[in-house]
């Protein structure tokens, strides 16, 4: 599954558990009733695209760590 701005936060965490720390650091409600990443970020006063970038960086970092010898 490709997660994006319209993906609910719980789905992000199911697909990419490593993103839970980003949500926690940003203080975003992970039990948001299935609201989209864009909605929750905007409601929290954050730029959704910036949050998306942080989440993808966490995913890429974990992928790089797991592929290291």
How confident is the model over 40-56, as pLDDT tens digits? 999 999 999 999 999 99
Reported confidence tier of residue 62, pLDDT bands at 50, 70, 90: confident
Please give the C-alpha separations between residue 58 and each of 11, 13, 33, 43, 64, in angstroms, as whole numbers: 16, 12, 23, 22, 10
Q: In this structure, is the dihedral angle defined by the CA atoms of residues 53, 11, 19 and 2, taken in order, positive or negative? A: negative
Distance CA 56, CA 14 (A): 14
pTM of the model: 0.86
Task: Give the start-to-end residue ranges of the domains of the chain.
Answer: 1-46
Q: Report the percentage of the chain scoring pLDDT > 70.
A: 93
């Amino acid at each position: 599954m490709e997660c994006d701005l319209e993906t609910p936060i719980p789905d992000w965490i199911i697909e990419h558990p490593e993103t839970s720390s980003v949500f926690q650091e940003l203080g975003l409600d992970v039990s948001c009733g299935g609201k989209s990443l864009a909605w929750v970020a905007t409601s929290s006063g954050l730029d959704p695209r910036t949050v998306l970038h942080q989440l993808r960086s966490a995913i890429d970092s974990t992928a790089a760590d797991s592929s290291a010898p």
